[in-house]
Structure 1
Amino acid sequence: MRALAALPLPLLYGLAEVLYFLMAYVLRYRQRVVLENLRNSFPEKTEAEHRQLARRFYRHFAQLMVEILWLRQATPAQLNRRVEYPNKHIITDRLKEGKSLLALGSHAGNWEWILTSGQLQLDVPAVGVYQPLNNAFFDEFMYKLRTRTGAELVTMRETIRFMAANRNRQKVLSMLSDQSPSNPTNRYWTQLLHQDTAFYTGADRLAAHFQLPVVYVSIQRVKRGRYRVVLEELFDGQSALDPDQHQITEAFARALERDIRRAPADYLWSHRRWKHKREIVN
């Protein structure tokens, strides 16, 4: 992996085409999960359209894999050229007020470039919330990639404690909020792409407890290897907020659905996002 990561990006994209062919036509990587997710999310599309979307997803996923590897050698100047923030002021204006922020992203586009490039764009620490990987080698490899531009990481379990201990330290806390909760009990359920979907509620609790403005991070592919990050404020950090109403999580779900419909092939369809079913209480 270290040897592959040292290759120039154009050569890595050549490798991505090989990976695409293997995943889509030979290994058929998680094909059942991918197609089931697409069929349930877009019932209005034909089976041919579902399969075409699956192939486009596999190509995107293969390119994403090599782009993540490329992070090991990417320079700050290269990252700044490949990731643009046209309305960065949504965050920087709040930072000028002395506030910390909560940034909510998803598994769309290339989310691994956002924390690393975001750190280069901000004058305060970018702190990513993550779930440690079971494989020790890959966990260490990804940790080094994600922190190589100066960003920090905190585990999901330690987030509340970290925020309390660093209450007076300005920062941007970044979370991928579309992950499927490991235990759907006491989670927030809403509709996403025609399906009952469970969401973690940490964003509502963090925003209410620490009075954090909340920003939605839309990761849009401009072309291969180029991304645009469009920001949208979901909460100003000043208005009254009842975390039990899940106002922020609902706004996140609606923004996420809009982005997936805009570029469906760029979402992570190989993940079993809808593995939990909502219990019906009589």
Structure 2
Amino acid sequence: MQFILYIIAYPFLWCVSMLPFPVFYLLSDCIYFIVYHVIGYRKKTVRKNLADTLPHLSEQERRRIERKFFQHMCDMFLEMVKTMTISEAEMKKRFVFTNIELVQEMEKKNKSIIMMCAHYASWEWLIIIDKYINFRTFAVYKKIQNKYFDKLIRDIRSRFNSTVIEAKETVDAIRRNEINNIKGFYGFASDQSPQLHRTNYFDTFMGINVPVFTGAEMLAKKLDLSLVFVKVQKVKRGHYQATFVPLSENPKEVPNYEITSTYLRMVEAQIYEAPEFYLWTHKRWKHRDKQSDRSPRIKKALN
């Protein structure tokens, strides 16, 4: 069944990726109408997330953000499909790095780099960074159940020579690269909700106390890697710009969880600036205020 679904969907996705951009975004508008107005995909989750995190806004303002988000989500999904065939030149024109020299200067120190980003605007098109730097680029992702679509996602994300690694393989992959003196640039999207039983740290995110991924920071501390945050902004439809902000080049000298907390503050600022471009469909706040249940584990992690 998985293969049948794949062979049915793949020709359609490939044809979509070949559409000229005006037609491409017209299709996105049609998909938005179906997803939002007909199916109502995860509308309740989005509505609750917006109400919980943006209570200072009126219901009318949150509805406007909701509609804009679903429009953007459809664009973003199709833009991932577009990556199947988009040229390098076109991608560079549509996804611009404002200060790539910051990363290039960090490379000269011969230390691998972890890039922390959010599920905001376009994290998929960050893969074009491989064309601007010397280090090998690695994109960390979560495997999906359908093995054929999983391979398709891996192929899309490696279009411009990035290496895709599954989240559970990340630690071993980075250690192996460091032993073999392979300097890497690793992309981590660390703003979603970790499994509660694996949580070591809680912090406020959008005003709510939640469990937080700390893997990027802890890996950087253990293996002496530099850390940067990348802020992605949607300039206009189909066009983005990314700006790097240094987090730490000597993470071992920074108190535990300070880097993660700083990263969260940067993500929050990004969301408050234009909330419609954040990924509101995930149940990011489902484990809110459960820190007391995990306190023994947290204390152990801190010692």
Q: Residue 171 of structure 1 aligns with which residue?
A: 184
User: Is residue 2:25 matched to residue 1:13?
Assistant: yes
* AA matched with 2:143: P
Task: Give aligned pairs, total.
Answer: 279
User: Is residue 2:131 matched to residue 1:120?
Assistant: yes
TM-score scaled to structure 1, two decimals?
0.95
| Contact 1:184 1:276 survives alignment (8 Å) | no
User: Is residue 2:153 matched to residue 1:142?
Assistant: yes
Note the aligned Cα RMSD (angstroms).
1.5
User: Is residue 2:202 matched to residue 1:227?
Assistant: no
TM-aligned CA deviation for residue 80 of structure 1: 0.8
Q: Residue 217 of structure 2 aligns with which residue?
A: 204
TM-aligned CA deviation for residue 239 of structure 1: 5.6
| Contact 2:221 2:252 survives alignment (8 Å) | no
TM-aligned CA deviation for residue 8 of structure 1: 2.1
| Contact 1:9 1:67 survives alignment (8 Å) | no
Distance 1:34 1:10 in 2: 28
| Contact 2:224 2:251 survives alignment (8 Å) | yes
Q: Residue 45 of structure 1 aligns with which residue?
A: 57
TM-score scaled to structure 2, two decimals?
0.89
Q: What SS does the aligned partner of 2:292 have?
A: coil
* Post-superposition CA distance 1:110-132 (Å, at most 9, x none): 110002x1111212211011111
Q: Residue 299 of structure 2 aligns with which residue?
A: none
Compared with structure 1, are the counterparts of its residues 238 and 258 closer, same or farther at alpha carbon in structure 2 (3 Å cutoff)? Answer: closer
For structure 2, the 5+ residue unaligned runs are 1-12, 294-303
* AA matched with 2:281: S
For structure 1, the 5+ residue unaligned runs are none
Q: What SS does the aligned partner of 2:26 have?
A: helix
**Which stretches of structure 1, 4 residues or longer, exceed 2 Å deviation after superposition?**
182-187, 277-282
* AA matched with 1:127: F
| Contact 2:121 2:234 survives alignment (8 Å) | yes
Give me the identity figure in percent: 28
Compared with structure 1, are the counterparts of its residues 214 and 280 closer, same or farther at alpha carbon in structure 2 (3 Å cutoff)? Answer: closer
Q: What SS does the aligned partner of 2:196 have?
A: coil
- Structure with bigger helix share is 2
Distance 2:280 2:273 in 1: 15
Task: Specify which of 165, 169, 173 is matched with residue 162 of structure 1.
Answer: 173
Distance 1:226 1:257 in 2: 22
| Contact 2:208 2:288 survives alignment (8 Å) | no
